[in-house]
């Protein structure tokens, strides 16, 4: 048995050895940690995409990945093809660039954030599980847009409708062109997918076909008159005649496809001096006044009558406030730009074509299409009520007693029912009411004098009256009194102005 002194000495030696080992280990670990934490290379088990950049400085890592990816980038191209068109697109043309700095900063930053223990822990985990950092890229958006525009310029084909025109008594048609349009978003997506994956496969340019609204096959069904009408006007009324001619030309050549609606105001446009329209008499509240565009309503009325006879669907029509001379009561259609329109729809299975022109003193409208029923359609109007006008008496102190003058002639008003009459082989099949119209009576105004005459003025007026009286003929020729017209021959357009209808 060893003495106690010896045992105590051994314990001290063991403790000293343990202490030295601890100190040495601590110093070693501290030195190792210091070395690891302060090294200027990327920690082990770090990859950028498929490139191992472990234990490399940022500069060394950048050279390594650039040598690999820049070489690949030079070789990557894609072929864009469509039928006979092709274009080779290099990714360099799109300003394709890898974001090396961003990836390197992320790789170098692993294990370098947080306190000492957090960093050591992260470095430890790196050795257990590798980290792969994606290599991002950028490209020139404008460059890609330029490529898309160039491709569209070579491939896109404008859609064109078939056309029809009537010349020298015959119809001439042109064939439609089917439109081709590059699907820009789909192509852009395909190119982007190729860029991201560096795919060199050929891209078939996606396109869309645009179907024309009007095809020649349908236009071939326009071959016969399905409704026509004409009205007469006075060629001596120069301004009015010119207005009728302009409006007639405006609607001539109109093509209306099935379900489409025709608007007279939209087709003829504004009726101003700048459009070539002239002044012509119009009626405002029963009085003739000058107005630009007078006469246009005769064209809308002529068209209305042709439309009804073609059995088309009238969607908006209004009669004049006073009768007009060029058609019977209940068979007119007034218009006023921005206020009153005449509209109809093509309710047939085939397109229709409108022809309008001036021949002599007549304006005519013919509607061509394909007859769907073997019917003849006419109009018949029935006056259901005549409305007598009133007469207003005004007094004038500057006129002598017994003197009178008409300031405004009175005109009767009417209520009219108009029928659409269907006939076949000269026999009426049916009739239907298409309108019930009201024509406003115009109250007359008569001015009577109230100024009394002096004796001198009476004698002077009697002498003057005797001198002006022609000698009495023994056998004066008998004159026939013309029959009184109940419907005044108003050749001008009628415009009604009231508080509810500003025109």
Whole-angstrom distance, CA of residue 46 vs CA of residue 106: 10
Q: 3-state class of 295 per DSSP?
A: coil
Which 8-state DSSP code applies to residue 482?
P
Q: In this structure, are 299 and 434 located in the same domain?
A: yes
The string over 22-53, giving b where at least 16 C-beta atoms fall within 10 Å of a residue's C-beta and e elsewhere, is eeeeeeeeeeeeeeeeeeeebbebbbbeebbb
Looking at residue 173, its pLDDT comes to 96
Structural domain ending residue among the three candidates 179, 201, 218: 218
d(C-alpha 394, C-alpha 108), whole Å: 107
pLDDT digits (tens, 9 = 90+) for 104-117: 888 887 877 767 66
* Predicted pLDDT of residue 95: 76
Residues 195 and 243 grouped into a single domain: no
**d(Cα 331, Cα 335) in Å, to the nearest integer?**
14
Model pLDDT, residue 128: 79
Listed in sequence order, the residues at least 6 apart from 160 whose beta carbon sits closer than 8 Å to its beta carbon are 176, 177, 179, 212
Measured distance CA(446)–CA(438) in Å, rounded: 25
Residue 1: CB atoms within 10 A of its CB come to 5
pLDDT exceeds cutoff 90 at 209:
yes
Q: Report residue 312: phi and psi, to 5°.
A: -90, 165
Give the per-residue pLDDT at 478: 42
In a domain, 395, yes or no: yes
- Within-domain flag for 101: no
Question: For 126-130, 153-157, 387-391, 409-413, which range has the lowest pLDDT when averaged over its residues?
Answer: 126-130
Same domain, 213 and 226: no
Say whether both 299 and 176 belong to one domain.
no
Q: Which two tokens stand for residue 223?
A: 């071959």
How many whole angstroms separate alpha carbon 130 and alpha carbon 121? 14
pTM comes to: 0.70
Q: Please tell me the distance from the alpha carbon of residue 283 to that of residue 490, in angstroms, as a whole number.
A: 9
Quick check: 180 pLDDT over 90? yes
pLDDT, one tens digit per residue, over 238-258 is 999 999 999 999 999 999 999
Domain boundary among 197, 218, 239: 218
Contact of 157 with 177, CB cutoff 8 Å: yes
Q: Please check whether residue 304 lies inside any domain of the structure.
A: yes
Domain count along the chain: 2
Does residue 291 contact residue 280 with C-beta atoms inside 8 Å? yes
50-68 confidence digits (pLDDT tens): 888 888 888 988 888 888 8
User: pLDDT confidence of 499, banded at 50, 70, 90?
Assistant: very low
Q: Which has more confidence, 34 or 416?
A: 416
Has residue 114 been placed in a domain? Answer: no
- Whether 205 and 227 share a structural domain: no
Q: Is the pLDDT of residue 422 over 60?
A: yes
Nearest to 88 by CA among 258, 166, 244, 203: 203
3-state SS assignment for residue 51: strand
Chain-centre distance of CA 489, in angstroms?
42
Q: What are phi and psi of 195, to 5 degrees?
A: -65, -45
Distance CA 495, CA 492 (A): 10
Asked whether the predicted pLDDT for residue 454 surpasses 90, the reply is: no
Please indicate, yes or no, if residue 33 is contained in any of the structural domains: no
- Could you give the CA distance from residue 286 to residue 165 in angstroms, rounded to a whole number? 42
At residue 283, the pLDDT reads 63
Tokens 């950048």 -> residue:
62
Tokens, residue 43: 């920690």
**Is the same domain home to 364 and 414?**
yes
| 219, pLDDT greater than 60 | yes
Closest CA to 263 of 274, 250, 273, 272: 250
187 shares a domain with 278? no
> Which residues lie across from 498 on neighbouring strands?
501
Which of 166, 192, 218 terminates a domain? The answer is 218
pLDDT above 90 as % of the chain = 49
Q: Output phi, psi for 436, to 5 deg.
A: -125, 110
* Over residues 355-366, mean pLDDT: 97
Same domain, 270 and 363: yes
Separation between Cα atoms, residue 162 and residue 219, nearest integer Å: 8
Lookup: tokens for 312: 């088309």
- Convert the pLDDT of each residue in 289-308 to its tens digit: 788 899 999 999 999 999 99
Contact 439, 286 (CB under 8 A): no
Residues 280 and 327 in one domain: yes
Is the same domain home to 367 and 442? yes
In a domain, 7, yes or no: no
Mean pLDDT of all residues in 71-79: 78
Question: How far are the Cα atoms of 163, 197, 217, 403, 416 from residue 176, in angstroms, in the given order?
Answer: 8, 42, 9, 74, 47
Name the nearest CA neighbour of 351 among 163, 177, 158, 160.
163
Banded model confidence at residue 161, pLDDT cuts 50, 70, 90:
very high
**pLDDT beyond 60 at 74:** yes
Instruction: Provide the b/e sequence for 460-473 (b: ≥16 CB within 10 Å).
Output: eeeeeeeeeeeeee
293 falls within a domain: yes
| Six token digits for residue 12 | 């001290």
Q: Clarify whether residues 265 and 203 are in a common domain.
A: no
Residues 6+ apart with CB under 8 A from 217: none
The predicted-structure confidence for 187-201, as pLDDT tens digits, reads as follows 988 888 877 776 667
Contact 455, 416 (CB under 8 A): no
Which structural domain, as residue segments, surrounds residue 285?
222-453+488-495
For the ranges 3-7, 44-48, 435-439, 464-468, which has the lowest average pLDDT? 464-468
Domain assignment of residue 35, yes or no: no
Q: Are 382 and 417 in contact (CB under 8 A)?
A: yes
Ramachandran region of residue 123, left (φ > 0), alpha (ψ -120 to 50) or beta? Answer: alpha
Instruction: Provide the pLDDT for residue 123.
Output: 72
* % the chain with pLDDT above 70: 81
Q: pLDDT-based confidence at 483, cuts 50/70/90?
A: very low
d(CA 176, CA 422): 37
Residues 176 and 267 in one domain: no
Q: Alpha-carbon distance 320 to 272, whole Å?
A: 21
């Amino acid at each position: 048995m060893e003495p106690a002194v010896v045992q105590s000495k051994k314990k001290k030696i063991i403790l000293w050895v343990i202490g030295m080992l601890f100190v040495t280990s601590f110093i070693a670990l501290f030195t190792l940690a210091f070395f690891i934490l302060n090294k200027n290379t990327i920690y082990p088990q770090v990859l950028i995409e498929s490139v191992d950049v472990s234990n490399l400085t940022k500069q060394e890592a950048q050279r390594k990945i650039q040598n690999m990816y820049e070489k690949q980038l030079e070789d990557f191209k894609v072929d864009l093809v469509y039928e006979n068109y092709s274009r080779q697109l290099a990714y360099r043309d799109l300003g394709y660039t890898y974001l090396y700095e961003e990836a390197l900063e992320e790789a170098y930053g692993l294990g370098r954030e947080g306190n000492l223990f957090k960093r050591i822990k992260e470095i430890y985990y790196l050795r257990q599980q590798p980290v792969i950092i994606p290599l991002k890229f950028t490209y020139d958006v404008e460059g890609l847009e330029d490529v898309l525009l160039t491709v569209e310029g070579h491939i896109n084909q404008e859609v064109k409708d078939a056309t029809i025109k009537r010349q020298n008594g015959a119809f001439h048609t042109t064939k439609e062109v089917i439109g081709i349009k590059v699907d820009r978003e789909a192509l852009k997506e395909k190119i982007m997918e190729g860029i991201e994956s560096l795919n060199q496969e050929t891209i078939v340019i996606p396109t869309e076909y645009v179907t024309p609204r009007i095809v020649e096959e349908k236009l071939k069904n326009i071959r016969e008159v399905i409704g026509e009408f004409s009205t007469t006007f006075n060629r001596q009324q120069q301004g009015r005649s010119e207005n009728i001619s302009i409006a007639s030309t405006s609607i001539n050549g109109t093509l209306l496809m099935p379900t489409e609606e025709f608007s007279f105001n939209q087709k003829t446009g504004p009726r101003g001096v700048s459009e070539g329209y002239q002044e012509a008499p119009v009626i405002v509240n029963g009085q003739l006044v000058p107005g630009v565009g007078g006469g246009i309503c005769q064209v809308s009325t002529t068209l209305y009558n042709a439309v009804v006879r073609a059995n088309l669907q009238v969607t908006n029509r209004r009669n004049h406030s006073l009768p007009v001379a060029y058609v019977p009561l209940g068979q007119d259609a007034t218009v006023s730009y921005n206020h009153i329109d005449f509209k109809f729809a093509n309710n047939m299975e085939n397109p229709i074509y409108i022809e309008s022109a001036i021949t002599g003193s007549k304006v005519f409208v013919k509607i061509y299409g394909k007859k769907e029923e073997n019917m003849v359609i006419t109009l018949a109007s029935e006056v259901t009520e005549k409305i007598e006008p009133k007469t207003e008496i005004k007094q004038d102190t500057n006129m002598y007693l017994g003197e009178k003058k008409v300031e405004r002639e009175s005109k009767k008003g009417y209520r009219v029912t108009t029928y659409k009459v269907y006939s076949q082989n000269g026999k009426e099949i049916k009739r239907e009411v298409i309108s019930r119209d009201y024509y406003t009576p115009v109250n007359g105004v008569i001015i009577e004098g109230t100024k009394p005459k002096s004796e001198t003025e009476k004698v002077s007026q009697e002498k003057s009256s005797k001198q002006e009286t022609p000698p009495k003929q023994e056998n004066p020729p008998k004159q026939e009194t013309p029959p009184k017209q109940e419907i005044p021959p108003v050749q001008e357009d009628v415009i009604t102005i009231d508080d509810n209808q500003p025109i």
